[in-house]
Amino acid sequence: MVQAINAALRRLPVPAVYLLAAVPGAWLVALAFTGGLGVDPVKRLERELGLLALQFLILGLAVTPLRRLAGISLLRFRRALGLSAFGYVLLHVAVWLALDMQFLWSQIATDLVRRPYITIGMAALALLVPLALTSTDRALRRMGAAAWARMHRLVYPATVTGGLHFVMVVKAWPLEPFLYLAAILALLALRLRRRPALARG
């Protein structure tokens, strides 16, 4: 079964993953233009894009545990998953700036300082920017594999911060954001548990 999955994955070209990742975004745009986003389309769009960003970040974190625990290798697609997450974060923020805040810069500056969930969201974005900028093969060669890998560990605090942002956004105490945060922390714990074993070689 695992072999069949890996064989199918090997046949899947990387660009197809970018295309597949864009499908939910394109679907949201189609819904936006056909009045399918309900009574508050801007909020709905903003939230769905944020959720997609977090889901792709989590998928990226799941690549290594999935290979170690289930033998399924998505390694070839990790960059596509990370960049798709980053693309959705940028769209999420663009909707906030352009449609929600309507480029009211003084209000935007106030929110950045006064609303902790916005400040935390920005911190997550700031952590992701260097990863996106160094996602090319050229950057990897220039930095050297070890330094590149060290820097790309920023994806862990970035995803935790994104998960915290989700918990802080919601006013009541629904289960969903906590499930996301728990999934992120569990994936992180799996990663940390491996470190001593790696160090032992």
**How far apart are alpha carbons 112 and 119 in whole angstroms?**
5
Q: Does 28 bind ligand HEM (CB under 6 A)?
A: no
Minimum gap (Å) between residue 173 Cβ and ligand HEM: 13
Q: Which stretch binds ligand HEM (CB under 6 A): 5-13, 46-54, 67-75, 186-194?
A: 46-54
Candidates 22-30, 34-42, 44-52, 71-79; binding stretch for ligand HEM (CB under 6 A): 44-52
Q: Does 92 bind ligand HEM (CB under 6 A)?
A: yes
Task: Put residue 71 in one of left, alpha, beta given phi > 0 → left and psi -120 to 50 → alpha.
Answer: left
Contacting ligand HEM within 49-68 (CB under 6 A): 50-51, 53-54
**Total residues binding ligand HEM (CB under 6 A):** 21
Give the residue among 136, 132, 134, 188 at the shortest CA–CA distance from 159.
188
96 belongs to the binding site for ligand HEM (CB under 6 A) = yes
Contacts of 5 (CB under 8 A, 6+ apart): 72
Question: Cβ(45)–Cβ(99) under 8 Å?
Answer: yes
Query: What are the C-alpha distances in Å from 182 to residues 64, 161, 175, 185?
Result: 17, 13, 10, 5
Binding site for ligand HEM (CB under 6 A): 43, 46-47, 50-51, 53-54, 89, 92-93, 96, 118, 121-122, 124-125, 128, 162, 165-166, 169
